[in-house]
Structure 1
């Protein structure tokens, strides 16, 4: 059975952290590379190319994992984005900021759930809402990834050691690229994650 993108990226991130001996050279390259096609990203290629297998059948979808045309595939784009976001978050932090949501060894918070917790801080709520609303308003994956890069920096500044499920985020980004309908589904999921905590808090307050 072929792995899902989430499972493949999970293994990549585990490999990069390497039980507390992170591959600093590769992580540095990922941080400085704007995209998978950037010259700086070449250090990351072996991790992604080996971790994304062929023939490429991805669980419930039939899509090439590795490019056959030179254009980055949905899977490659999603995997690199997740690795870069993790690398930005991990920089300067001893504790691993990647948490496995599906494994027994560690748990991770969904990215937009973590932002929802951060949103409870009234001092940054307006600025954070503005960035998230801009992200949720676009179906262009490049713009979304660029927005996520800014958001992870904000998250790191406030919740440096929080473990995030970057593999699950890779899965979301993978499905985001399939169609306008798929992008809308992912955006709605992210919106639910981002606003749900605040709504729950408000509901509890009203009941009290």
Structure 2
């Protein structure tokens, strides 16, 4: 696919939403509805969540039982045939599928807490978990949690990103009040990550999210230390060897 078509990601005219926006819309609509039903202990929602968890860390269409999940159906409704090239559509499906299945893993057994909350970014969630585990200190660079985020930022394949995000979600689950995450925003970032020309921008967002969450929100127009050039997750850090489908975690753990 051409860089221009993927970067612009427009569905139709310039006044219509971008593919990224449709990815976020489909993801949010699907998760918000299922999250509400799950909180009400709807048997169908409980069963659907259990099924979705099987796909966390996997590629879309890799598990036949998850073909045609509602999240992808909603995306298909928003992206009618002929409005986008096949590459854009496939990348959009991968992003929606991964975000939805990661949310299902995060939400497991949490009837009284919404783990999908708009405005809660990935870097901020990792920072919040560090605070809960009291690992913020002068030797922060050696923090296992920070290293997990760096591994996401230095991943060289979408499968590696999927596996490493699954590892982070598993860590988010280790505390009673798990830090929530905006899975719609994450889906949009995952869609953009698949375009090499946009990948560095997504990595920079993850790095800035982490650093901006280090201090309370500031008012006014002063520069936040987290906005400096060095906030991008260092792409020169060596990527690990390709992990297995579940990154060392057993399914359903």
Q: TM-score, normalised by structure 2?
A: 0.64
SS for the counterpart of 2:150 is helix
Contact residue 66 and residue 75 of structure 1 kept, 8 A: yes
- Specify the alignment match of 1:112 in structure 2: 123
- Specify the alignment match of 1:55 in structure 2: 80
Q: What displacement does 1:130 show?
A: 1.8
- Of 125-134 and 186-195, more deviation after overlay is shown by 125-134
After superposition, where does 1:188-203 map in structure 2 within 5 Å? Answer: 188-198=204-214
State the distance in 2 between where 1:30 and 1:132 align.
Answer: 23
After superposition, where does 1:173-188 map in structure 2 within 5 Å? Answer: 173-178=190-195, 180-188=196-204
1:10 counterpart (28, 38, 42): 28
State the distance in 2 between where 1:156 and 1:74 align.
Answer: 27
Q: TM-score, normalised by structure 1?
A: 0.76
- Report the structure number with the largest CA radius of gyration: 2
1:122 counterpart (135, 145, 168): 135
Q: What displacement does 1:177 show?
A: 0.5
Q: What displacement does 1:191 show?
A: 0.6
Change beyond 3 A, Cα 1:194–1:50: same
Deviations for 1:121-158, whole angstroms, at most 9, x for unmatched residues? Answer: 22795111222222211232211111000001111212
Contact residue 52 and residue 65 of structure 1 kept, 8 A: no
State the distance in 2 between where 1:193 and 1:56 align.
Answer: 35
- Of 183-192 and 124-133, more deviation after overlay is shown by 124-133
The count of residues paired between Structure 1 and Structure 2 equals 186
Higher helix proportion (structure 1 or 2): 1
Contact residue 74 and residue 174 of structure 1 kept, 8 A: yes
Contact residue 75 and residue 174 of structure 1 kept, 8 A: yes
Gaps of at least 5 residues in structure 1 are: 68-72, 102-107, 204-208
Deviations for 1:93-135, whole angstroms, at most 9, x for unmatched residues? Answer: 1122111x2xxxxxx4112211122234227951112222222
Question: Are 1:77 and 2:94 counterparts?
Answer: yes
Gaps of at least 5 residues in structure 2 are: 1-15, 218-224, 226-253
Deviations for 1:138-192, whole angstroms, at most 9, x for unmatched residues? Answer: 23221111100000111121263433211110010011112x2211110011011
Contact residue 123 and residue 213 of structure 2 kept, 8 A: no
Change beyond 3 A, Cα 1:198–1:66: closer
